[in-house]
Chains A and B, each alone.
Chain A
Amino acid sequence: MRFALSEDQGLLQDSLNKALAQLSPLDRVRRFADGGEMTAPDIWAGLSDAGLPGLLVPEEFGGLGLGLLEAALAAEALGKVVAPTPFLGSAVLAPLALTLGGSVEQKAEWLPKLASGEATAGVAISEPIAGAREGAGVTAKDGKLTGKALFALDAPGADLLIVADRAGGLHLAEPVEAVPMTSIDATRRLSELTFKDTPAEALSSNQALERLRDAAWTMIAADTLGACQTMLEKAVDYAKERKQFGRTIGSFQAVKHLCAEMAAELEPARALVWYAAYAFDHAPDEAPLMAAHAKAHTSEIGRFIARTATEVHGGIGMTDLLGLHYWFKRIGQNRQILGGPERVRETAARLQGLAA
C-alpha cells in the first residue's frame, strides 16, 4: 500500500506543468480573458500534442486510457495557471458519458476525435445537479430536446453537446448557439443553451449522471487545489520580498502565520482530493461521498486561501496589473459551479443516510 503518486503520475504532473508554463502564461490568459476570446485553440492544440484530451479515453479509441487520478493531476496543473481550456467538458465529462452510456457507433464516431483534440464537447448538466433556476430545464421527447440549459460548460465552438434532461437522462445533441453568460471568472466560458426540437440521441446508462457529477466535483476540487497552490506560492514569494518597517513582511508573525494557515488547510485537502479521484476508479462505493466532500471542502478552504493570499499582497493584490484576481475568481467560480458547498454537503449527508 502506498498513498503517493507513482513515478509515472509524477512525470505526468511535471510534464504538464512544464507544457502549461509555455502554453498558458499569464499574458496569454489575460489576452483570452480581456480580449473576449471564446476558445483558445492554440492552448488546446498544444495540450493535445501531450495527449491531454485523450487522458480518459480508452486506448481502443485512441486515448491513453488513464484514470481519474491522472485527470485530477491534470486539472490541478490547469488550475495552477488558470488555463483557458475545455478540459472538464471535452476531456473528462464527454468521454465519460460516452464510455458509460454510448452505443458502439457513438463511441466510434466521437471518442477518437475527442481524444485527438480534433473535436471538442460542451456539457450541460447544471440543472439536475445544482438545481433549476430561471425556468431552465430540458425535456426529451422522440429524439428531440426542448428547453433551456444554463451554466453549460465548454460550449463555445463545441462539435457536440452532452445534455442532461430534467429527469437526469443524458443525451448527445447537435451543437446549438452558445449564448455567453458573463461570470466573474473570464478564464472559462459558461453558456446558455436553448433547445427547440433539437435532434439528440439518448445515452443509455442509469448511473451515468451520478458518475459524471462525481467526476466533475472531483475535477473542480482539483482545479481549486491547483489555483490555491499558486496563490499560496505567490503570497509567500511576495512576503519574502516586500519590505516595510525595514524588514521583509514575511518576518512578521502576523503575516507568516497567515501563510502557515493557508498551507495547513491546503496540504490535507490535497490528500482528500487524491483519494476522491482514486476512489472513483478503485473504490466506487465510496466515490460519491468522497467527491462531495472534496468539492465542498476545497470550496471552503479555497475561499479562505483566495482572500488571505490577496490580503498578504496588500493593495497590489487588488490590482488588475498583478493578475492575482484571475485565481481569486477561478476559485470563486469553482465554489458555486455545479452546486455550492451547502447543497453538496446535503448530498454528502444523504449518501450516508443522514438526510432524507
Chain B
Amino acid sequence: MDLTLTPELATFRDEVRAFLDAHKDEYADGVPKDMRAWQKTLIANGYAARTIPKAYGGFGAAPDILKSRIIAEEFIAANAPRGMAGQGISMLVPTLLEVGSEEQKTRWIPPTLAGEILWCQGYSEPGAGSDLANLQTKAVEDGEDFLISGQKIWTSTAMQAQMMFCLVRTEPDAPKHEGISYILFPMSTPGIEVRPLKTMTGVAEFNEVFFTDVRVPKSAVVGGRGRGWFVANATLKHERGMLGDPNATEARLKALIELMKSETVDGQRVIDNPVFRDRLMQLQARVLSMKFNGLRTATDDTAGLARMVVKLQGCELNHQVAALAIDALGELGILYHDGPYLRAKGNWQRNYMFDLGLIIGGGTAQIQKNIISERGLGMPREPKAAPQ
C-alpha cells in the first residue's frame, strides 16, 4: 500500500486544477455553456477521449488509471462537466477500437467523439432481457444487404440518435450464441418506428424501436458475421464499469449530508435526529468501502472478486442514498415535479426511482449474483431446463 502520489502525478493534479480554473467561465453548475465546444476543449487537453488514438479524433495518451482517477476527482471537486458520455462514446467507440475494421473506425469514431453523431443501443427485446442471447430480431439476406425485422426495447436516446448499434439474428439455424451479428445503421432508414417508453419517473428515458424490412448493407456488420455475442460482451463490460462508479456515489453522499444539515423539522436539524444520523453513518461506511474498493480494483491485480461486485453494490448504494434523502425530508420528500417547497428540483425522488432501474438494467442484481457466485466463487451453474 502506498497512497502517496508520485511527483509526476502530483504535477498532473495541479495541471487539471489549473485547466479547470482557467476555463471556469465555460461552465456553470456542472453544465457547459456550449456542449460541443466544451467537448472539443476537453479532447484537446486530454480530459475526454483521453486514450483514443489521435488518428480517430482522440487525445492519444497511454492508458493510466491513476491519471483518469485524478481527472474524475478534480472534475467532481470543481463541479465541472465531464465530456459527452452517451452510449456511442462509452460503449460503441471502445468496441470499434477492439474489433472494428479500419474503415469503420475512421468513419465512425471521430464524429462520435466530437458529438456530431449520437448513438443508441439496440440490445434488449421483450423476450430477451437477462437472457439477451435469446434475441429474435432477424436479419434476412437480400443480395448485398440484410432486411431487419423485429423489436427492441429499453432503448435510451432512440428519439434523438442518428445511428444505432444493434444485435440481430443473422444465422437462424446456428446455436443461439453463434447466430447473432452486431450491426450499425442510421435511424433514418425506412422501416424504423420509435415509440417513447415513459417510466415511473414521469419521463420517457427509454423507447421501443420497431423494425419492418429495414435494409442495411452487410458491410455494416462489426467484428464478423455470427460474432455479435462476443462483440456485445466486450461492450457490456464497459457498461457495468460505468454503472457502479463510486465517485458519483460519493458526490451524492456529500449532497445528502448537506441536506440533512440544512433541513429542519420543528426547528430541529435532521442531522440532530439520532435515528437519521445513524442511518447516514451506516451509508457513509458503505460509500467509503466502495471508494477504497475502487482504488483497489484500479491498482491491485489480485482484486478480481472486488471488481465483480461493483455494479451490484454500487447501484444498490445509490438507491439507498436517495431513499435516506427522501426519508430525511419527511413529508416534503414526497413533493415532485414542481411547487414552491420542492427540494433539489425533485431529483431525490427521481434518482430513487431511476436508480431502481439501474439495479435492474445493465445486468440485473440477480444476474450479477450469478456472475459473482459462478465466476468469482466457482459455484456450479444452474442446470439447463429440458428443451420444451
A contact residues vs B (CB 8 Å cutoff): 1-6, 9, 69, 236, 239-240, 247-248, 250-253, 256-257, 259-261, 263-265, 267-272, 274-275, 278, 282-283, 290, 293-294, 296-297, 300, 342, 345-346, 348-349, 354-356
Mind listing 20 A-B residue pairs with CB under 8 Å? A1-B9, A2-B3, A251-B381, A253-B366, A257-B369, A257-B373, A260-B377, A267-B303, A268-B292, A269-B289, A270-B296, A272-B289, A272-B292, A282-B3, A297-B282, A300-B285, A346-B274, A348-B285, A354-B277, A354-B280
Nearest CB in chain B to that of A9: its residue: B1
Q: Is the CB of A250 within 8 A of B293?
A: no
Smallest CB-CB A-B distances: 5 pairs = A4-B300, A271-B292, A260-B369, A268-B289, A297-B285
What residues on A are CB-neighbors of B381 within 8 Å? 251
What residues on A are CB-neighbors of B377 within 8 Å? 236, 256, 259-260, 263
Q: Is the CB of A268 within 8 A of B309?
A: yes
Q: Mark B249-271, 1 if CB is under 8 A from A, else 0.
A: 00000000100010000000001
Q: Mark B310-354, 1 if CB is under 8 A from A, else 0.
A: 001100000000000000000000000000000000000000000
Q: Is the CB of B379 within 8 A of A236?
A: yes
Bound CA–CA A270/B286 (angstroms) = 12
What residues on A are CB-neighbors of B278 within 8 Å? 342, 345-346
Task: Tell me, yes or no, whether B174 is within 8 Å of chain A by CB.
Answer: no
Q: Is the CB of A300 within 8 A of B282?
A: yes
Bound CA–CA A3/B299 (angstroms) = 6
Q: Mark B188-203, 1 if CB is under 8 A from A, else 0.
A: 0000000000000000
Q: Is the CB of A1 within 8 A of B66?
A: yes
What residues on A are CB-neighbors of B372 within 8 Å? 260, 263-264
Task: Tell me, yes or no, whether B388 is within 8 Å of chain A by CB.
Answer: no
Q: Is the CB of A253 within 8 A of B281?
A: no
Q: Is the CB of A267 within 8 A of B309?
A: yes
**Nearest chain A CB to B179 CB, angstrom units:** 27
Q: Is the CB of B299 within 8 A of A354?
A: no
Extra inter-chain contacts (8) besides given A1-B6, A3-B295, A251-B382, CB under 8 Å: A4-B1, A256-B380, A264-B309, A268-B289, A271-B296, A296-B282, A297-B282, A346-B278
Assuming A2-B2, A274-B1, is B292 touching A253 (CB within 8 A)? no
Nearest CB in chain A to that of B2: its residue: A2
**Nearest chain B CB to A284 CB, angstrom units:** 14
Task: Tell me, yes or no, whether B31 is within 8 Å of chain A by CB.
Answer: no
Task: Tell me, yes or no, whether B288 is within 8 Å of chain A by CB.
Answer: yes
Q: Is the CB of B379 within 8 A of A2?
A: no
Interface size classification for chain B: 35 or more
Task: Tell me, yes or no, whether B18 is within 8 Å of chain A by CB.
Answer: no
Bound CA–CA A275/B293 (angstroms) = 10
What residues on B are CB-neighbors of A251 within 8 Å? 379-383
Q: Which of B298, B312, B370, B380 contacts A3 (CB 8 A)?
A: B298
Task: Tell me, yes or no, whether B55 is within 8 Å of chain A by CB.
Answer: no
B contact residues vs A (CB 8 Å cutoff): 1-6, 9, 66, 257, 261, 271-272, 274, 277-278, 280-282, 284-286, 288-290, 292-293, 295-296, 298-303, 305-306, 309, 312-313, 366, 368-370, 372-374, 376-383
Nearest CB in chain B to that of A69: its residue: B1
Q: Is the CB of A268 within 8 A of B1?
A: no
Q: Is the CB of A354 within 8 A of B257?
A: yes
Number of A-B contacts (CB under 8 A): 170
Q: Is the CB of B271 within 8 A of A354?
A: yes
What residues on A are CB-neighbors of B373 within 8 Å? 250, 256-257, 259-260, 263
Q: Is the CB of A253 within 8 A of B382?
A: yes
Bound CA–CA A297/B299 (angstroms) = 24
What residues on B are CB-neighbors of A342 within 8 Å? 278
What residues on B are CB-neighbors of A263 within 8 Å? 305, 309, 372-373, 376-377
Q: Is the CB of A1 within 8 A of B3?
A: yes
Assuming A257-B373, A264-B312, is B379 touching A297 (CB within 8 A)? no
Assuming A1-B5, A349-B277, is B379 touching A271 (CB within 8 A)? no
Assuming A257-B373, A296-B281, is B380 touching A248 (CB within 8 A)? yes
Bound CA–CA A236/B5 (angstroms) = 39
What residues on B are CB-neighbors of A236 within 8 Å? 377-379
Bound CA–CA A290/B3 (angstroms) = 15
Q: Is the CB of A271 within 8 A of B293?
A: yes
What residues on A are CB-neighbors of B366 within 8 Å? 253, 257
Assuming A1-B66, A354-B271, is B369 touching A274 (CB within 8 A)? no
**Nearest chain A CB to B284 CB, angstrom units:** 7
**Nearest chain B CB to A214 CB, angstrom units:** 15
What residues on B are CB-neighbors of A272 within 8 Å? 285, 288-289, 292-293
Q: Is the CB of A275 within 8 A of B292?
A: yes
What residues on B are CB-neighbors of A275 within 8 Å? 288, 292
Q: Is the CB of A271 within 8 A of B289?
A: yes
Bound CA–CA A97/B56 (angstroms) = 61
Q: Which of A240, A253, A296, A346 contacts B285 (CB 8 A)?
A: A296
